[in-house]
Amino acid sequence: MKEVRPGAASAPPTEGRRLTSVAIDGALAALFGLGGGAGALAAGTASWWWAAILAAALAFSFCNHVVLTSAARASVGKAVCGLRVVRAVDGGRPRFMQLVGRWLFGFSWMVVFVPIHVFADSGVEQQDAVGLRVVRRLAVPVAEHR
């Protein structure tokens, strides 16, 4: 078992860092989606531009939140904000299927809970899901710093 720095699995980021990372990741997915739509228009498939936008945005989002996070423990937005995704129990590297589950949970959160939160003006925050937690970059196992 790895030696873990104190607080590795419990050093939560500030709300500002977390929201900034979400905004960066969302903006990048939107840009890739628009690029996909522009590509569809340029290819002469104007009737399918919306599908190209959605497909490109989802593909980027999956690659960013699952594939990149599996390799580097952070999406682009999280890396920029100094955050990482770790297993909640031991601060270790997230498993691929956990990241897929977290990605799917994020969509359900956005579709169901964000509108409720906005309209009800509640203080509910997204909690970490599927046994994963977002922590500040310095709070990772000591073995990786050697």
Strands (E) located in 10-142: 83-87, 132-136
Express each pLDDT in 48-68 by its tens digit: 888 899 999 999 999 999 999
| Side-chain-facing half-sphere of 93: CA atoms under 13 Å | 12
Contacts of 15 (CB under 8 A, 6+ apart): 125
Output the CA–CA distances (angstroms, integers) from residue 47 to 12, 42, 44, 52, 95, in the order listed.
45, 12, 9, 10, 39
Q: In 3-state terms, what secondary structure has residue 134?
A: strand
CB count within 10 Å of CB 121 equals: 6
Express each pLDDT in 65-124 by its tens digit: 999 999 999 999 999 999 999 998 888 999 999 999 999 988 777 777 767 777 776 665
